Homo-oligomer: A and B are copies of this chain.
Amino acid sequence: MSKHLGKASIKFLNKIYIIATASIVGPKEGEGPLSDYFDVVLEDMKAGETSWEKAESKIVKDTLELAVKKSGLNINNIDYVIAGDLLNQSTGSTFGVISLEVPFFGIYGACSNMGEGMSLGSILIDGDFAENILVGASSHFCTAERQFRFPLELGNQRPLTATWTVTGDGAVVLSQKGSKEFPHVSGITTGRIIEMGIKDQNNMGAAMAPAAVDTLLNHFKDFNRTPDYYDLIITGDLGYVGKKLVLKLMKSEGYDLSKNYSDCGIEIFDEKKQDTHSGGSGCACSAVTFSGYLYKKLLKKEINKLLFIPTGALLSPTSVLQGESIPGIAHAIVIENEV
């Protein structure tokens, strides 16, 4: 008999403790409403490096090291590192992870990376394959813009459906050993790739919303739960446009999410003051919002049952140019406090 639950879920037998988190963000995120929750706010986008890509790798390295330090463990206690980013061939993670010298699983789920990483990390720990796992996900506004859209120097106008790629890295240390002081992962629902014909790469919220809905529906069915089980249900980076679609689509399926649903892309920037249009996006959007903000709310027991659903848009500039639509994926993580 498998621990697999329903169509797409796993209910863990053991508590996978989140014993530490770390978050480093860029200047713009430091001006947003969650500023005080982040460990480090960078003063410049290059983080002292000579290119944005090198900066992203530096942020990855520093965040992962900081998470280990905050956990009280030594890097030698970490059995595996799991990390991913948006750059071609995931070089943000690669060059950030080298110096750690720990067995490494590279992942790619676009901006859902934090969800995929925490899923695989929890599986490794629950199955007794590892004692401690380090998971991180990063993105950088400048590396993402020039890779996916236009050279920044062009000063292109952004449509109102566009989101703003978050600069930063969020990391968590998952552990077999913990106490009720720490929140723990109790289950996951793994996303399927969902594609509904959206072709506008400036409307990622609409492209990813159906994937979030698919995962939410599978989750509630597999766990036999309703939305009110959770204090907060929060998707990764759907922004205002995507949130609206999720609310509507879920309502048509008979689920009312109006009371306890938000999106990390909405939480991280100030809608009126920061001019980010539909909100924040990028792997770091959900990663730093969780590692910074949500984790501290969990520690303070202000949230006790959280459904965290990083969302990803699985496009490439080439796939868009070749006329493909933009598929999405969303991985749900159940994080609870022992009460």
Contact = CB atoms under 8 A, between A and B. Distances in A.
A24 interface: no
Interface string A315-339: 1111100101001010000000000
Interface in A230-244: none
A170 interface: no
Interface in A205-256: none
Contact of A107 (B108, B195, B329): B108
Interface stretch (A79-87, A157-165, A298-306): A79-87
A171 B103 CA distance: 24
Interface string A149-191: 0000000000000000000000000001000000000000011
Interface of A: 1-4, 7-8, 10, 51, 53-54, 79-80, 84, 86-91, 94-95, 97-98, 101-110, 116, 119-120, 123-124, 126-131, 147, 176, 190-195, 314-319, 322, 324, 327, 329
19 contacts: A2-B131, A4-B129, A7-B103, A51-B322, A53-B322, A87-B318, A88-B88, A91-B319, A94-B314, A94-B327, A95-B327, A102-B192, A103-B191, A104-B190, A104-B329, A105-B119, A105-B120, A106-B109, A123-B129
